[in-house]
Amino acid sequence: MKTVFEKIRDREIPATFRYEDEALMAFDDIHPKAPVHVLIVPKKRIVSIATMADGEEVLVGKMFRVARDLARDLNISEKGYKLVIHVGEGGGQEVPHLHLHLMGG
């Protein structure tokens, strides 16, 4: 079964996109915990940092580069922001599809 983020990727449910390329997408969190709250998500489903394969750190690194650029574009870079990845149920992860929270503003 598809995760909610795969459904967003496939345009089966709507989202406000902030960034997209062949490997990554970024869209507004539906329940924002800060004035700017964007999720940066690999299009390919990686469940979590705990289960990512060796080699996927390149994609994970790119998630942080996209976060840096989005923070600049959304004018939260100068003041500062928070980047969070929940890992597994005990780490507060609700959606089993790796994502980086960018929060600020």
Catalytic positions are 99
Please report how close the Cβ of residue 100 comes to ligand AMP at its closest, in angstroms: 9
Q: d(Cα 30, Cα 24) in Å, to the nearest integer?
A: 18
Q: d(Cα 6, Cα 71) in Å, to the nearest integer?
A: 24
- Taking 3-state DSSP, the helix, strand and coil percentages for the chain, each rounded to the nearest 5, stand at 25, 25, 50
Nearer to ligand AMP, 6 or 56 (CB): 6
Q: d(Cα 49, Cα 46) in Å, to the nearest integer?
A: 8
Please report how close the Cβ of residue 8 comes to ligand AMP at its closest, in angstroms: 6
Give the tokens for residue 92: 């507060």
Nearer to ligand AMP, 23 or 30 (CB): 30
Nearer to ligand AMP, 6 or 69 (CB): 6
Please report how close the Cβ of residue 40 comes to ligand AMP at its closest, in angstroms: 12
List contacts with ligand AMP (CB under 6 A). 4, 13, 15, 29-31, 39, 86, 92-95
